[in-house]
Structure 1
Amino acid sequence: MSDAISSSAAATEKVKHGLAAGDVAPPSPDWTIDQGWANYTATEHGVWKTLFERQTKLLQGRACDAFVEGMRALPMGPDEIPDFRKLSDVLMKQTGWQVVAVPGLVPDDVFFDHLANRRFPAGNFIRKPHELDYLEEPDVFHDVFGHVPMLMNPVFADYIQAYGVGGLRANKLGMLKQLARVYWYTVEFGLVKQADGLRIYGAGIASSYTESIFCLDDPSPNRIRFELERVMRTNYRIDDFQEVYWVLDNLEELLELDRIDFAPVYARIESQPELQPWDVLDGDQVLHRGTGTYHDAKRRSAAGS
């Protein structure tokens, strides 16, 4: 399996948030724990180093300017897993955010409450050396390398807080699935236009070696201009590369989502049919019409097996 699947699985869990029956009791009411930084082994720091060096080299000319600037400003390098306290000191001064350690998945209301209060919950564990390209649950590399640099950007930082507030409301209204699609297609798998071309800002891509290549270079996926209600109706892939990437003209567009009253939006889309990731509608602003070759071959293979 590729790390595209691993990143998709990780991002899915972050969107779903929920816990399976029989999971252990929370370590604290807000599910936070001590990162236990001093307990990381040389092997674990080595895994971070391998992933960090591989991904930072690949992302040159692929990651958006905000991601690159955030990475440079943070106490995050190749030699060791970052200390959440040091990250939080820098984040707090820049955008008022902090990183808090959690043991894994947390319930919906806990996750949204953390975001609404500018706390980003991150898994404190790291994958094993044999799991470099596959992981079922988000680890410290996905959560910190993928997400935290963008939290240094004031626009993105405000957007994530607004998502937390909106998530608490959507959960009560029974519209969490629709709002989760917005998180998926922006925070995890979003692309943005820059003067020098399309660039990555989504953490699910930024932390995935193979999807960082696929999303920009492969002719198979559609790349379509972001439109809120269209995205809310569109399912997503959790088992492989995305079939569509939604593109912002600029990150400032996310501020517009902060100001929207989502209740009328939910009311409009509730009765409309759901769309599949490969669908292209007449009203879509298509930046690149994909060939569909990659996923079509996967579907034919599955049908023949």
Structure 2
Amino acid sequence: MDYIGFRLVMATSPPSILDPATGASTPLPGAPAGDRVNDVLRVGKAAVVLSAARCGSSCLEPSEVFVYGDPKNPPWKLGKARSAAPSADETGVWLIRDDGNDLCRLQFVSLLGTERDRGRPASCTTAVRQEVPQGLLITVNTGTSSAEDVLIDPATGRAVHQYPRVLAITKDRMLLAELTKFSVLDLRNNQRTPVERPVSNGSPGPVIPSRDGYKVAVVFGDPAWQGTSTQTADVWVLALDTLTWTHAPSMPIVAPIKQVAVEWTEDDDLVVVTDVVASWRLDRPHWSIAKTPLPAERSGRVVSVGKS
């Protein structure tokens, strides 16, 4: 096994941190235990954990929001929210607060817990995704057939761009899903360029921008590979400036699609978590693989943090 110089914050139950180099997995200090639904997102160098209690078989309470500046130390709380997204400057998060009686609001809170103001009214079916200099990407009517992605001015709620499905957004560009292909919208000049899909089979699943915003990793999931019951995941990287694809080595792989997690490290390594943890740089011919035990129950999202 090659040297792997990162740790992974994982949305297990309870949330945990994994060191792939040693195989050590430990619960995050202060994270809620019990039967909860957990999620994790990266905001700058911090990991933000959302932990929701169940209120029924298909019902979740608003999540408790925790910030881990250092995953080894106890977190601090930002209160409860229905969803959270990183701010453009990575100093805070946008939250959909739930005030009860079907009343919600959009609010900015710094990672230290300082509220800019009370926020503005928002639908409780809105999910925040990512802020960039041009606006805040949200999904309206989330979880329904009429869901749509909108880039808004968070100060006024005015729509800047609106599309049925935005796969990813970076500082300068949006990757859009079309009927049979993709397109890239340059937010600096509103120029939209079609991009052919690199494969004809499989649907795009997780799409994760690199930390510098110049490329995205796309996982194409096939739930019935070659007409069988075998699920596969196929990882490709799209350069957003040249609009060229790079196929990750040894792909596709057999893996449960919903458990495939993708992340970029601070050193620009692409990390894929399946039944193993693997990392790869685009200038290398193979993956570095850590065959370490992984929790069976985990979501398809992880956050990479550097070694201390």
The TM-score with structure 1 as length reference comes to 0.31
The TM-score with structure 2 as length reference comes to 0.30
Greater relative CO (CA pairs within 8 A, separation 6+): 1
Higher strand share: 2
Higher helix share: 1
